[in-house]
Copies of this chain bind each other. A is one copy, B any other.
Amino acid sequence: MTAMSENSSFNIAERVEHFVRSIVTPYEADDRRTAHGPQEELVHELRAKAREAGLFNPHISAGGEALCHREMVPILRASGLSPLGPLALNTAAPDEGNVHLLSKIATGSQRVRFLEPLLAGKRSAFLMSEPASEGGAGSDPTMLKTIAHRHNDTWVINGRKAFITGFAGAEAAILMARTDRGDGKMAATMFLVKLPNSAIHIDRVPVTIDNSMPGGHATLTITNLIVSDEDILGAPHEGFAYAQLRLAPARLTHCMRWLGAATRAHEIATEYAVGRRAFGKSLIEHEGVGFMLADNRIALKQSELMIGWCADLLDTGEKASIESSMVKVAVSEALFSVADRCVQIMGGTGVSADTVVEQIFREIRAFRIYDGPTEVHKWSIARQIARESERP
Chain A interface (Cβ < 8 Å from any Cβ of B):
129, 132-133, 135, 138-140, 143, 162-163, 206-210, 217, 270-271, 274, 276-279, 282, 284-291, 293-295, 297-298, 301-302, 305-306, 308-309, 326, 329-330, 343-344, 347-354, 358, 361-362, 365-366, 368-370, 373-375, 377-379, 381-383, 385-386, 389-390
Contact = CB atoms under 8 A, between A and B. Distances in A.
A379 B209 contact: no
B297 A326 contact: yes
A279 B135 CA distance: 11
Given A287-B379, A351-B210, A277 B330 contact: no
Given A305-B305, A365-B343, A138 B287 contact: no
Contacts of A129: 348
Contacts of A386: 274, 282, 284-285, 290
Given A206-B352, A285-B386, A382-B284, A306 B301 contact: yes
A301 B295 contact: no
Given A287-B375, A290-B379, A344-B375, 14 more contacts: A132-B347, A138-B347, A140-B278, A208-B352, A209-B361, A210-B351, A288-B288, A289-B382, A290-B378, A295-B378, A298-B326, A301-B309, A361-B365, A362-B362
12 contacts: A132-B347, A138-B278, A140-B278, A209-B361, A284-B385, A294-B329, A294-B382, A297-B326, A301-B306, A302-B305, A302-B306, A351-B365
Contacts of A297: 326, 381, 385
B217 A348 contact: yes
Contacts of A135: 277
For the complex formed by this chain, how many copies does it contain in all?
4
A209 B351 contact: yes
A277 B368 CA distance: 20
Q: Which applies to chain A's interface (DSSP): helix, strand, loop or mixed?
A: helix
A328 to B, nearest CB: 10
Interface-centre pick from A286, A294, A295, A378 (highest chain B CB count, 10 A)? A294
Nearest to A217: B348
A3 to B, nearest CB: 15
A210 B329 CA distance: 27
A186 to B, nearest CB: 14
Contacts of A294: 326, 329, 377-379, 381-382, 385
Contacts of A210: 351
A273 to B, nearest CB: 8
Given A139-B347, A378-B294, A389 B284 contact: yes
Given A290-B385, A344-B368, A132 B278 contact: yes
Contacts of A368: 344
A250 B236 CA distance: 57
B369 A351 contact: yes
4 A-B pairs with least C-beta separation: A290-B382, A294-B381, A287-B287, A305-B305
A349 B129 CA distance: 13
B374 A344 contact: yes
A206 to B, nearest CB: 4
B301 A375 contact: no
Contacts of A162: 348
Contacts of A143: 278
Nearest to A305: B305
Contacts of A378: 287-288, 290-291, 294-295
A245 to B, nearest CB: 22
A277 B138 CA distance: 10
Contacts of A379: 279, 287-288, 290-291, 294
